[in-house]
Amino acid sequence: MVRSRTVWAAAALLTATLGVAAVPATAAPSATPRAATACPTGWGSLAKTYSAGTATPLTNVRTGRHDCYDRFVVDVPGASGSALGFSVRYVDRLYQDASGRLIPVAGGAILEVRVNAPAYNPETGASTYPGRVAQPLPGVNITGYSTFRDTRYAGSFEGVTQFGLGVRARLPFRVQHLADHLVVDVAHTW
C-alpha cells in the first residue's frame, strides 16, 4: 500500500512538473485504433513476361515480408535490370524444363518464376547458385509468411533458371526490375 502511494505521488509530481497526464502502469491500452496500412491493388494474377536475356549468372534467391505482400528476389549481380528477362505465371503443376519432371510444390496455387539468366557460369559450366532440383531453396525460410507456403528450385537449362513458389491462393502479383535483381511481390489479399 505504501509503495502504491509512492508511485502515485511520483506520478502526480511528474504531472505537475511537466504538464503531462500520468497513466498508471496497469492502465488498459489506448482504444484509439491504429491507422490501417493502405495496400496497393490492381496487380492482377495474369502472366507477366519481359523478353530479354543475359549471360550474367544469378547467384542468390531471398525473400522478405512486408505489410501488404511477400517478396521473392532473384539476385543477378552485374546484370542491368532492363536486360533481365522473365516469365512469371500461375501453373497447375511445376514441370522442370527439358526433362518434363514433375516437381511437387505445396500451397493453394503455384507461381512459376522463370528468369532469363543461368545459374551457372556460361564459360566453365560451374554452378553459381547452390540450389538442388526439386528441393526447397537454400537459405530461404518462409516460416511465418502470410502468402508464401513453399519454394522449389526447378533447375537451369539453356540460360533460363526456373523456380516454383507455392502460395496460399491465386493472389495478385507484380514483377519489377530493381538494379541487378528481379523482384516478385505477391499480395496477401485481393
Q: Which residues does residue 49 pair with via DSSP β-bridges, in sequence order?
A: 87
- Does 5 fall in a domain? no
- Does 18 fall in a domain? no
* Cβ-contact 125, 161 below 8 angstroms: no
- Does 26 fall in a domain? no
- Does 125 fall in a domain? yes
Q: What is the pTM of this model?
A: 0.80
The pLDDT of residue 22 is above 60: no
Please state the domain count of the chain.
1
- Does 14 fall in a domain? no
Phi and psi based region of residue 7 (left: phi greater than 0; alpha: psi -120 to 50; beta: remaining)? alpha
- Does 110 fall in a domain? yes
Mean pLDDT, the chain, integer:
85
- Does 85 fall in a domain? yes
Confidence class of residue 159 from pLDDT cuts 50, 70 and 90?
very high
In this structure, how many other beta carbons lie within 10 angstroms of the beta carbon of residue 67?
Answer: 10
Question: Which residues constitute the domain of residue 77?
Answer: 48-187
Per cent of the chain over pLDDT 70 is 81
- Tell me, what's the pLDDT at 36? 62
What CATH code is carried by the domain that includes residue 99?
A: 2.60.40.3500
What is the pLDDT averaged over residues 122-131? 96
- Does 2 fall in a domain? no
What is the pLDDT averaged over residues 103-113? 98
